A and B are shown apart, each in its own frame.
Chain A
Amino acid sequence: MSTILLVEDNEMNRDMLTRRLQKKGFNVLVATDGVQGHTFACAAIPDLILMDISLPEMNGWEVTRLLKSNQATRHIPIIALTAHALASDREKAFEAGCDDYDTKPLDFVRLMGKIETLLVVKKT
């Protein structure tokens, strides 16, 4: 059973995603802000991280950069979740080190596709 760390400050989004992911069979860890997200990631070494970008304490890019520059956590695939759909955001995501990104409003099916792709890649 894979573990997904979800870093999302919005309660409803968090709730929805957690429950849907759990239904899909994932073990879901939750962090509510950037710093917490970073801490949890280092501690738990999840299989995948869903990173909301607009976070309190520390924004998603920052957390991603930190994690990607840390030997222990760089292998963890990170999907950035952003409300903006601008190309610049996409570039920013990849620049920060994200492996993929998805836009809100989330299409759960689409998201699942991205998650699965990354986990498969990781496994191989």
Chain B
Amino acid sequence: MKLQNLSIKRKLMLITMLTSTVALLLFSASFLFYDLISFRHFLSQDLATQAEIIGYNSAAAMAFKDEAAASVTLTALKAKEDITAAILYTPDGKAFTRYVRANLVDPSLNGNQPRFEGIRFRDSHLEVVHAVSLNGEPVGTLFLQSDMSQWYSRAKRYAIFLLVFMLGSDLLALLIASKLQTLISGPILRLEDTMHMVSAQKNYEVRALKFYDDEIGRLIDGFNTMLSEIQQGDSALQSANDALKAQTLELESEILQRKQAQDELLSAKRTAEDASRAKSSFLANMSHELRTPLNAIIGYSEMIEEEIQDTGKFENVQDVKKIQSAGKHLLSLINDVLDLSKIEAGKMGLHLESFDVAQMVQEMVSTFQPTITKNSNTLQVNLAQDLGLMRADVTKVRQILFNLMSNACKFTNNGTVSLDVQRTTKGDREWLKFQVKDTGIGISAEQQKNLFKEFVQADASISRKYGGTGLGLAISYRFAQLMGGHFTAESEPGKGSTFTVHLPSKVSADVVEAVKAKENNGPLAEAPKPATQADTILVIDDDPAVRDLMFRHLVKSGFHVVVAADGEEGLKIAKRIQPRIITLDVLMPGIDGWEVLRRIKADPELAETPVIMVTIVDNEIMGLNLGSSNYVMKPVDRTLLTDLIEKHRKARPSSSSDVPVAV
């Protein structure tokens, strides 16, 4: 089994045992060693001393060559068991007398005096050669030999004793260790038990018992701290979990709600789509359904007219002609109504194609001729040289032109109707400008207000007098808007009127905007396209509430808005950022709105910027006279304002002779 994996108890005991054994061993060994060495030394010293004594005692005998006496002295060595031999040599090296321990036969002892002096160890014998002298006079040599038996026996004795002692000590150490190891292993084992319990039961309230204030004690403290942290974490986790569960439930219910809402929305959408489709197909069908019988009416009446012509019953012709005329009027009314409905339903799409402008106009001219001659008018067509190509919905362009032309012809007698077409560049885009001038009855200022509104002709009597549906301009206006164009009208009652349409030379599908119904924003009305980065609106108003309101309204509508709190600041900002449009409060401290307006118009950099007066003061004329592009009353109708801004945003500011057009 591996040592490292022994239990703590065993390890500790093993350590103790090992340590104590090694210590004891070392001690014993060194002690033994030291002792034996010193004993040996002692023995040799002893022997040397004995040799001295014997030498001394036998000196006289040696001096007197009294062999008997010398022998007696040596024989006394019998008492010493370890002495194996003692030989006295005469000065000339011959053995004089000897003592040899009983039963000992050592041939090496026979012979002359050994050739060494002092002490030596030979063959596990200790030998001493001592010079015997009498009063300083050498009388011989003593050889003494000991068998070291003392030493061996001592060594043996000691070794055994030490061994026994070691064993005994080891045993004792074992005992003590096994008792004391609990000091260390006890707490550890307890800790282990606690840990086991904690992990098995997942009970984090348990705490391990601390026994002593040592490293293990600190370990236990740490463990307990960890446990309490885990406990905290666990309870935090629990509560978080619970919170999460609660939240999840909430979320689930919310999701459910949202899903429901989504489903409702989807079904609403589907309903709306269905409605839209229904509307489209309705429009399409109605278009077809309405026209078909009318075609029949018109067609048959034409046929009857022809037949009457043939038969010569001319008095019926007028009646038939009236039927025709009514039918034709009805047809054009239906067409117009259907167009407007389409526009309003947002179903009026653009079908773009490139066509030659001049060619288109030329083709159309012929269709005007009847109307021209009807009122004895003269037609002037001025086409610029560089008209080139236009990409637009040609049908709509034709319709617009036709409308303008027929209006001009209708309201002019013995006058001149002129059509001017030019190509212009405003900003970075190219435009086609169609202008229809007439020398007709003109339009009063009052009437101008309602010019582009549907169903309102200038005067109820006019429709009777001049015919028409009253929808034409509204439709033309909308068509122009759809294509990203811009419609203006000027007129002087009695003098004549000028209608100008600016259309982009390249109508892009992006610019298609559904004309919003001003009365109601149905769910199908499309939101205006957000202004591009360059289209910043500067709002100058001293009232922070108004500023905030305007800001939020306009931002919601997708514009980039900058605000100024007073006229001075507004002017500075305007100069710096060159906003697209400026809304201007009239009543402000410092310089009032009128002054600001004057200054804006006086500054060549800002003069062209459309300014919308937003104020409680009803002084529209002043505003208009001063050159404000529009005049809006507070409280501001958000849609009105946005419309205005849209209008101005789309129409590049032309000359300041732009007659402000009230919406």
Contact residues of A with B, CB < 8 Å?
Answer: 10, 12-13, 16, 19-20, 23, 83, 85-88, 104-106, 108
Q: Contact at A105–B351, with CB atoms within 8 Å?
A: no
Q: Contact at A16–B351, with CB atoms within 8 Å?
A: no
- Shortest Cβ-Cβ A-B pairs, 10 listed: A12-B296, A16-B299, A105-B295, A87-B351, A83-B288, A87-B353, A86-B351, A105-B291, A88-B351, A20-B303
14 further interface pairs, Cβ-Cβ under 8 Å (given A83-B291, A105-B299): A10-B292, A12-B293, A13-B295, A13-B296, A16-B296, A16-B299, A20-B306, A87-B353, A87-B393, A87-B395, A104-B291, A105-B331, A106-B295, A108-B299
The digit string for B274-293, where 1 denotes a CB below 8 A from any CB of A, is 00000000000001100111
Docked pose: A76 CA to B294 CA in angstroms: 31
The interface on chain B, measured as residues whose beta carbon lies within 8 A of the other chain's beta carbons, has a size of 20
B393's nearest neighbour on chain A, judged by CB, is A87
Instruction: Pull 26 A–B residue pairs with CB atoms less than 8 Å apart, ordered by A.
Output: A10-B292, A12-B299, A13-B295, A13-B299, A16-B296, A16-B299, A16-B303, A19-B303, A20-B306, A23-B306, A83-B287, A83-B291, A87-B351, A87-B353, A87-B393, A87-B394, A87-B395, A88-B351, A104-B291, A104-B295, A105-B294, A105-B298, A105-B331, A106-B299, A108-B299, A108-B302
Determine the chain B residues whose CB is within 8 A of the CB of A19 once the complex forms: 303
Question: B300 in the interface, Cβ–Cβ < 8 Å?
Answer: yes
Determine the chain B residues whose CB is within 8 A of the CB of A106 once the complex forms: 295, 299
Determine the chain B residues whose CB is within 8 A of the CB of A88 once the complex forms: 351
Number of A-B contacts (CB under 8 A): 43
- Closest chain B CB from A33 CB (angstroms): 17
- Closest chain A CB from B370 CB (angstroms): 12
Docked pose: A64 CA to B190 CA in angstroms: 102
Docked pose: A16 CA to B298 CA in angstroms: 10
Contact residues of B with A, CB < 8 Å?
Answer: 287-288, 291-296, 298-300, 302-303, 306, 331, 351, 353, 393-395
B394's nearest neighbour on chain A, judged by CB, is A87
Docked pose: A29 CA to B395 CA in angstroms: 33
Docked pose: A85 CA to B298 CA in angstroms: 19
Q: Contact at A85–B395, with CB atoms within 8 Å?
A: yes
Determine the chain B residues whose CB is within 8 A of the CB of A83 once the complex forms: 287-288, 291
Determine the chain A residues whose CB is within 8 A of the CB of B331 once the complex forms: 105
Docked pose: A106 CA to B306 CA in angstroms: 16
Docked pose: A41 CA to B130 CA in angstroms: 167
Docked pose: A23 CA to B300 CA in angstroms: 14
Determine the chain A residues whose CB is within 8 A of the CB of B353 once the complex forms: 87
Docked pose: A10 CA to B289 CA in angstroms: 11
B287's nearest neighbour on chain A, judged by CB, is A83
- Closest chain B CB from A99 CB (angstroms): 19
Docked pose: A90 CA to B291 CA in angstroms: 20
Docked pose: A87 CA to B306 CA in angstroms: 33
Determine the chain A residues whose CB is within 8 A of the CB of B302 once the complex forms: 108
Determine the chain B residues whose CB is within 8 A of the CB of A20 once the complex forms: 303, 306
Docked pose: A13 CA to B300 CA in angstroms: 9
B331's nearest neighbour on chain A, judged by CB, is A105
Determine the chain B residues whose CB is within 8 A of the CB of A12 once the complex forms: 292-293, 295-296, 299-300
Determine the chain A residues whose CB is within 8 A of the CB of B394 once the complex forms: 87
Determine the chain B residues whose CB is within 8 A of the CB of A87 once the complex forms: 351, 353, 393-395
Docked pose: A4 CA to B291 CA in angstroms: 25
- Closest chain A CB from B397 CB (angstroms): 12
A10's nearest neighbour on chain B, judged by CB, is B292
Among B287, B288, B394, residue most surrounded by chain A Cβ atoms (within 10 Å): B288
Docked pose: A95 CA to B294 CA in angstroms: 30
B351's nearest neighbour on chain A, judged by CB, is A87
Among A10, A104, A105, residue most surrounded by chain B Cβ atoms (within 10 Å): A105
Determine the chain B residues whose CB is within 8 A of the CB of A104 once the complex forms: 291, 295
- Closest chain B CB from A106 CB (angstroms): 7
Docked pose: A23 CA to B351 CA in angstroms: 38
- Closest chain A CB from B84 CB (angstroms): 145
Docked pose: A86 CA to B394 CA in angstroms: 10
- Closest chain A CB from B353 CB (angstroms): 6
Docked pose: A72 CA to B303 CA in angstroms: 35
- Closest chain B CB from A124 CB (angstroms): 25
